[in-house]
Amino acid sequence: MMVANTLERVKSELLSWPGVVTKTHRFGGTEFDLNGREMGHMHGSSWADLPFPMKVRKELVEKGKVSPHHILPESGWVTFYVRSDEDVQTLIGLFRMQYERLGGSSNNNKKLRQ
């Protein structure tokens, strides 16, 4: 089941965070960057790919929160499939992990957790 306006909902939230910018991803889709580094990218409203350190990636996969990357399953990249409205909030939470990991404004962290 495709969730309506997923990309627009995620994009609106992420662009409200200080320093986040968007551009077209080199393999298609919408990329979200912070401080010149990719937080992840979305392929329409169906799925997102996010790069994590291998330790974090293994924990997320083991907990069933994400799938190994659909093309590079042995890398730190993960794929998250959006199937419900609840998944949209989970995806925003994954991008929040990236934001904080990549040095997002500590002054904004309180807002992000609300």
CATH number at residue 74: 3.90.1150.30
Percent with pLDDT over 90 in the chain: 72
The total number of structural domains that make up the chain: 1
Instruction: Say if 61 falls within a structural domain.
Output: yes
Instruction: Say if 112 falls within a structural domain.
Output: no
Residue 67 is part of which domain span? 6-104
**Per-residue pLDDT band at 106 (split at 50, 70, 90):** low
pLDDT digits 0-9 by tens, 18-51: 999 999 898 889 999 999 999 999 998 899 999 9
Q: How far apart are CA 71 and CA 15, in angstroms?
A: 27
pLDDT reading at 53 higher than 70: yes
Q: pTM (2 decimals)?
A: 0.86
pLDDT reading at 89 higher than 50: yes
Residue 113's contacts (CB-CB under 8 Å, 6 or more residues apart) are none
Count of CA atoms in the C-beta half-sphere (13 A) of 57: 17
Instruction: Say if 79 falls within a structural domain.
Output: yes
- Kindly report the average pLDDT of the chain as a whole number: 88
Instruction: Say if 21 falls within a structural domain.
Output: yes
**Per-residue pLDDT band at 112 (split at 50, 70, 90):** very low
